[in-house]
């Protein structure tokens, strides 16, 4: 499924979205798509709606257009459709190319892209320095040669990234067809992905990256490296001939980006042959060039193997997660334990007290692992403020507690009883971030408090009687969270838990 424009519009992390979508038990259904959006922080509701009612839809909605999930925006009498590409169609064409599925969405604050390190600014800085050096210290033709090398490096990197599922707008703009569905079967994609060349796992396109990177470095030492560059550009005729043969006689289709790289190679061949005439052989420069290319080859091979392994692990993990994220399986594991009936369901209770889904978290303020569990609980409450309630069941025994612990529990009790719920949650969050009793005391008013802690003591006794001595533990509607699952996995099931009338 192709929905790059949609993911970019919603500012979602593409890799995370695709992984979560692929690992959904119902992949690749509309339910899987809807659940993944919910998981990524985009609240949505899906409907099967006859076309006659589509005029009543909001200006933006998601539909399945040309078998692809697409963002649809009303623009006057027409509709802009964003999937792999953007296009504008009229109402009749939209109705003809769409199913009755529509999804109304609402972006939340959490639906922001989790950006990893972006290497492109660094790459652009390196390119800029090379260009500045070339035009200042070298002749015009040497600088042009270096520009061609950098162009080759850039295009080769884009091809290398696309091989591992990172869609390139540059490659797409060069090779893309006339509609969103052509991208997966166009000539570029066919030739690049079906390349049968394999030397230590490297494809023909990978050697393009090695070649141009080496030339880009050697080009900085012109004219001293002219004889090496001239030799390599002459040898590149073999690669040009091989590529043209594959396109013309094997695949019987021409790849635009391949032809662009061939054009760069021919341009460099012409410059080196006609203009790099004063060359002198040096064994030292030759050895350095061999070492340089060996290092570049090793680096590309390393990253290729690393990304290949990562891709294989992600595919395997996605398949395993489809099984693990199956709600019925999770529910069967959840309810197989004996249900725990707590008498006290009110102390330190936050959220919607009438909600169908009630989560208890057994914890201890001084427990190192409890910080993460409370973060999950608090984030759940922020995401579903009207659908869940959460009770923080701190284990507190006065005989075992020191003065600091007693004062901390007393301060939290005072805040809970006398201040808004938000301030209590902020106090709990502040505690797990700083572990500073004085800050919590200041939040409670600054004076030593002496609250009645009988409810806390009774609640702790209930925890102990139920065998809940270790922390942290999640209890969902009286059932202990299954040990076979990680606490973070609750995010996969919370929507279905809320909607499950039998639970």
Measured distance CA(377)–CA(389) in Å, rounded: 10
How would you list the strands of the sheet with 388-394, edge to edge? 349-351, 388-394, 357-363, 473-476, 479-480
Q: What is the pLDDT of residue 180?
A: 37
What is the dihedral angle through the alpha carbons of 208, 212, 215, 219, rounded to the nearest 10 degrees? 160
Q: What is the 3-state secondary structure (H, E, C) of 252-301?
A: CCCCHHHHHHHHHHHHHHHHHHHHCCCCCCCHHHHHHHHHHHHHHHHHHH
Q: What is the CATH number of domain 120-316?
A: 1.20.1440.130
Question: Residue 115: pLDDT above 50?
Answer: no
Mean pLDDT score across all residues of the chain: 82
Residue spans per domain, the chain: 4-107, 120-316, 328-499
What pLDDT shows up at residue 178?
A: 40
d(CA 288, CA 298): 15
For residue 375, the number of C-alpha atoms closer than 13 Å in the C-beta half-sphere is: 10
pLDDT in tens, 435-471: 898 999 898 887 777 888 888 889 888 888 888 878 8
Per-residue pLDDT, 12: 76
Mean pLDDT of 393-410: 86
pLDDT for the residue numbered 193: 60
Q: Does pLDDT of 206 surpass 50?
A: yes
Supply the pLDDT for residue 84.
Answer: 66
Q: Helix, strand, or coil here: 197?
A: coil
Query: With 50 as the cut, is the pLDDT of residue 40 above it?
Result: yes
Of 3.40.630.10, 3.90.70.10, 3.40.1080.10, 3.40.50.300, which CATH number belongs to 4-107? Answer: 3.90.70.10
Q: Taking residues 167-178, what's their average pLDDT?
A: 63
Range with the largest mean pLDDT of 94-98, 262-266, 334-338, 443-447: 262-266
**Are β-strands 388-394 and 349-351 bridged in parallel, bridged antiparallel, or unpaired?**
antiparallel
Q: What pLDDT digit, counting tens, does each position of 83-109 carry?
A: 766 778 888 888 888 888 888 877 654
Q: Could you say which DSSP state residue 118 is in?
A: -
- Beta-carbon contacts of residue 70 (< 8 Å; ≥ 6 apart): 3, 5, 6, 62, 63, 64, 81, 82, 83, 180
- Confidence at 228, pLDDT banded by 50, 70, 90: confident
pLDDT band at 1 (very low <50, low <70, confident <90, very high): very low
Q: What is the mean pLDDT of residues 22-32?
A: 75
Q: How wide is the angle at C-alpha 339 spanned by C-alphas 333 and 342, nearest 5°?
A: 140
Is residue 140 a contact partner of residue 39, using CB atoms and an 8 Å limit?
Answer: no
Tell me what pLDDT residue 110 has.
45
Bridge partners for 78 per DSSP: 75, 90
Pick the CATH number of 328-499 from 3.40.50.11890, 3.40.1710.10, 1.10.238.10, 3.40.30.10: 3.40.30.10
Split at pLDDT 50, 70, 90, the class of 153 is: very high
Q: What percent of the chain has pLDDT over 90?
A: 21
Least confident of 126-135, 175-184, 272-281: 175-184
Report the pLDDT averaged over residues 38-49.
Answer: 78
The whole-number pLDDT of residue 391 equals: 93
- pLDDT tens for 347-375 read 999 999 889 899 999 998 888 888 899 99
Q: How confident is residue 256, by pLDDT bands cut at 50, 70 and 90?
A: confident
pLDDT score recorded for residue 319? 65
pLDDT winner (highest mean) among 77-86, 215-224, 260-269, 364-373:
260-269
Q: How confident is the model at residue 196 (pLDDT cuts 50, 70, 90)?
A: low
> How far apart, in whole angstroms, are the C-alpha atoms of residue 82 and residue 80?
7
pLDDT of residue 189: 62
Q: Residue 502, SS3?
A: coil
pLDDT at 35 over 90: no
């Amino acid at each position: 499924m192709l929905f790059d424009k949609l993911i970019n519009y919603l500012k979602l992390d593409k890799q995370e979205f695709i992984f979560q979508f692929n690992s959904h038990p119902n992949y690749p259904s509309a339910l899987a798509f809807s659940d993944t959006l919910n998981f990524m922080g985009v609240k949505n509701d899906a409907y099967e709606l006859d076309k006659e009612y589509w005029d009543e839809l909001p200006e933006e909605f998601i539909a399945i257009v040309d078998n692809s999930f697409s963002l649809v925006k009303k623009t006057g009498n027409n509709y802009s459709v964003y999937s792999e590409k953007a296009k504008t169609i009229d109402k009749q064409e939209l109705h003809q190319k769409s199913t009755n599925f529509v999804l109304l969405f609402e972006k939340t604050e959490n639906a922001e892209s989790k950006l990893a390190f972006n290497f492109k600014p660094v790459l652009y800085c390196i390119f800029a320095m090379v260009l500045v050096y070339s035009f200042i210290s070298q002749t015009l033709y040497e600088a042009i040669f270096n520009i061609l090398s950098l162009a080759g490096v850039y295009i080769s990197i884009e091809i290398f990234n696309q091989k591992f599922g990172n869609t390139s707008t540059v490659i797409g703009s060069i090779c893309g067809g006339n509609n969103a569905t052509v991208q997966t079967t166009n000539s570029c994609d066919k030739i690049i992905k079906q390349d049968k060349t394999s030397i230590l796992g490297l494809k023909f396109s990978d050697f393009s990256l090695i070649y141009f990177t080496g030339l880009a470095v050697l080009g900085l030492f012109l004219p001293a490296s002219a004889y090496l560059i001239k030799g390599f550009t002459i040898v590149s005729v073999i690669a040009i001939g091989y590529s043209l043969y594959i396109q013309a006689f094997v695949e019987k289709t021409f790849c635009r980006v391949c032809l662009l790289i061939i054009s760069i190679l021919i341009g460099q061949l012409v410059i080196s042959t006609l203009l790099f005439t004063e060359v002198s052989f040096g064994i030292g420069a030759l050895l350095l060039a061999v070492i340089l290319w060996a290092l570049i080859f090793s680096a590309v091979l390393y990253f290729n193997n690393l990304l290949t392994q990562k891709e294989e692990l992600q595919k395997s993990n996605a398949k395993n997660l489809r099984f693990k994220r199956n709600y019925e399986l999770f529910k069967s594991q959840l309810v197989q334990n004996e249900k725990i009936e707590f008498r006290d369901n009110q102390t330190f209770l936050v959220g919607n007290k009438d909600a169908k889904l009630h989560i208890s978290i057994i914890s201890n303020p001084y427990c190192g692992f409890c910080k993460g569990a409370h973060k999950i609980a608090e984030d759940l409450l922020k995401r579903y403020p009207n659908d869940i309630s959460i009770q923080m069941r701190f284990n507190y025994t006065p005989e075992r507690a020191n003065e600091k612990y007693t004062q901390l529990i007393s301060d939290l009790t005072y805040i809970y009883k006398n201040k808004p719920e938000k301030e209590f949650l902020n106090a709990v969050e502040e505690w797990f971030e700083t572990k500073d009793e004085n800050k919590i005391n200041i939040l409670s008013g600054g004076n030593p408090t002496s609250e009645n802690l009988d409810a806390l003591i009774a609640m702790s006794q209930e925890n102990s009687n139920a065998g809940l001595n270790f922390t942290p533990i999640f209890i969902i509607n009286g059932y202990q969270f299954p040990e076979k699952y990680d606490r973070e996995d609750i995010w996969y099931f919370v929507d279905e838990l809320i909607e499950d009338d039998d639970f």
